[in-house]
């Protein structure tokens, strides 16, 4: 590293992640008296995954209103953004974290290193993939993690498929079944290996039953077919072993989320109780701590992480 880059700036609090967890944590830390906060967001806007969740059901606890994801994000951003002493850095991707809380990040035109007196990791989660559940068959175009399909439709205005089979009946899968249907696509089925849906009851009713979309419980997709684009899937009844085929051009994979904690791993930190890690001064909140069902709970728990960081800095 050259002299030009080596000025190691120290900040009181660095928050990694500008989704609901990072925003709520920064907000609470600021309110608790932390005067110097750097929030690093890897995307080009704040709000994280909420931006693509254009369905309602957000904010019932925090704002006592039924909001969409972007509305919830907007409220939280407005609460946070004018906090004195808060610097927000977008398109900033953390590549390295040390146990001594030195954060290295890249952004267009710049690589920077900052020493955090306290650090909150709010890096969210990622989707489990087709590959992680080892679905056999071919690898054509038309297989999407449900969140990617959601982004394509809701943010980019692109329809990725017309005949869809959805693997997994968690909330994201259910919501995407409705979303595709509203966009004029045909959702052929939702396939679930468990005995019941893993999603909220209201989503099973509003996203599947209202549209007459079949939910196959105790079934799995055994094979994906198609050379260039998905052509069909083979579905297997897990109890009887019976198989049948469904023709489709798209397979959505919605089989759960995994906390994205590679940076904490790099720093040698293990997750402990709520918002705590094994490293002093390093906190973790939101979906990076555990995968939550509701953003309202994420915001509530993450505010606590902000207060814990403020408390740590006072010591």
SS3 190: strand
Site string for other proteins, 162-181 (x = CB under 8 A): x-------------------
- Rounded CA separation 132/303 (Å): 33
DSSP 3-state of 286? helix
**Residue (of 302, 294, 305, 306) closest to 67 by Cα position:** 294
Helix (H) or strand (E) holding 137, with range, is strand 136-137
**148 sits near other proteins (criterion: CB under 8 A):** yes
CB-nearer residue toward other proteins: 133 or 200: 133
Which among 94, 93, 100, 105 is positioned nearest to 118, based on CA atoms? Answer: 100
Integer Cα distance of 289 and 272 in angstroms: 9
User: Contact at 8 Å (CB) between 59 and 71?
Assistant: yes
Taking CB under 8 A as the rule, which mask of x and - marks residues 82-121 in contact with other proteins? ---------x-x-xx-------x-xxxxxx----------
> x/- binding map, residues 247-266, to other proteins, per CB under 8 A?
--x------------x--x-
Asked if residue 242 binds other proteins (CB under 8 A), the reply is: no
List the interface residues with other proteins, window 24-53 (CB under 8 A).
Answer: 42
Rounded to whole angstroms, how far apart are CA atoms 222 and 243?
9
Q: Which stretch binds other proteins (CB under 8 A): 63-71, 77-85, 205-213, 218-226?
A: 218-226
Report the interface residues with other proteins, using CB under 8 A. Answer: 1-2, 5, 42, 91, 93, 95-96, 104, 106-111, 126-127, 129-132, 134, 136-142, 145, 147-148, 151-152, 155-162, 222-223, 225, 227-229, 249, 262, 265
């Amino acid at each position: 590293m050259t002299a030009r880059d080596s000025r190691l700036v120290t900040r009181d609090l660095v928050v990694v992640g500008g989704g609901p967890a990072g925003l709520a944590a920064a907000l609470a830390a600021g309110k608790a008296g932390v005067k110097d906060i750097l929030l690093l967001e890897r995307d080009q806007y704040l709000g994280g995954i909420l931006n693509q969740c254009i369905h309602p059901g957000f904010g019932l606890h925090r704002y006592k209103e039924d909001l969409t994801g972007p509305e919830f994000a907007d409220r939280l951003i407005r609460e946070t953004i004018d906090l004195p002493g808060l610097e927000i850095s977008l398109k900033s991707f953390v590549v390295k974290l040390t146990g001594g809380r030195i954060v290295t990040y890249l952004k267009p035109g710049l690589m920077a290193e900052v020493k955090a007196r306290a650090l909150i990791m709010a890096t969210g989660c990622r989707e489990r993939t087709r590959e992680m559940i080892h679905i056999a068959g071919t690898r054509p175009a038309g297989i999407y993690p449900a969140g990617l399909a959601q982004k394509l439709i809701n943010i980019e205005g692109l329809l990725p498929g017309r005949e869809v089979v959805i693997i997994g009946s968690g909330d994201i899968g259910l919501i995407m079944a409705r979303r595709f249907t509203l966009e004029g696509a045909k959702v052929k089925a939702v396939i679930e290996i468990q005995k019941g849906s893993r999603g909220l009851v209201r989503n099973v009713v509003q996203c599947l039953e209202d549209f007459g979309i079949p939910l196959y419980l105790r079934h799995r997709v055994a094979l994906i077919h198609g050379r260039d684009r998905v052509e069909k899937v083979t579905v297997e009844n897990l109890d009887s072993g019976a198989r049948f085929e469904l023709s489709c051009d798209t397979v959505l994979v919605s089989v759960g989320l995994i906390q994205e904690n590679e940076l904490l791993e790099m720093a040698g930190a293990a997750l402990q109780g709520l918002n705590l890690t094994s490293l002093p001064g390093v906190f973790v909140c939101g979906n990076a701590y555990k995968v939550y069902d509701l953003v309202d709970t994420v915001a509530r728990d993450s505010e606590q992480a902000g207060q814990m960081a403020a408390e740590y800095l006072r010591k």
